[in-house]
Amino acid sequence: MTSNVVLTTGLALILIGMWGLLTHRNILRIIIAFSVMGTGTHIMTVAIGYVTNGTAPIIDRALNLSEAPVRAVDPIPSALVVTAIVIGLAVTAVMLAYAIRLYQSKKTLSIDAFTESKW
């Protein structure tokens, strides 16, 4: 039940990001929409790894070794999302750097001004 709510939230965030990506003309807003979309995919991936009544896959006093395979959540999506968040940050940094360069070349952030790469 919990993971259904989280999964729906993640998918909704992806749709919101997609909507922003398609409708906004300001490059900074497009970058924000891209980040929202990326966050949605992260939330969705974590939700898929949830197991009913599961807990974090860390063996300690609260979760001993014998009951770990029954009570722990799937560790693989979590491991993937850890790296995906850091890579998402790096990709956002590259996008912002491009935005700065584009602003320097045309003194505007509207993508309507950049017609060279239009097809």
Partner 1 sequence: MMRRIFAVLSVAFFGLIFSSLAINYTERQSLRPLAASYVKLVPQDLGAPNVITGILLTYRAFDTLGEVAVLFMAAAAVGLLLGKSGQGRRHSPSKISDRAKSSSEIVQSGAQILVPLIGIFAAYIIMNGHRSAGGGFQGGAVIASSVLLLVLASARYQIDLEFFSVTESAAGVFFVLTGIAGLIFAGGFLDSRVLPLGQFGAFISAGAIPFLSVLLGIKVGCELSVIIDRFRA
Point out which residues bind partner 1 (CB under 8 A).
1-4, 7-8, 11, 14-15, 18-19, 22-23, 49-52, 56-60, 65, 68-70, 72, 74-76, 78-79, 82-83, 85-87, 89-91, 93-94, 96-98, 100-101
Report the residue number, 94 or 115, with the smaller CB distance to partner 1. Answer: 94
State the minimum distance, in angstroms, from the CB of residue 91 to partner 1. 7
Give whichever of 65 and 107 is closer to partner 1, judged by the CB atom. 65
At how many degrees (to 10) do helices 2-23 and 27-48 cross? 160
Q: Is the Cβ–Cβ distance between 40 and 10 less than 8 Å?
A: yes
Contact 10, 37 (CB under 8 A): no
Cα(93)–Cα(20) distance, rounded to whole angstroms? 19
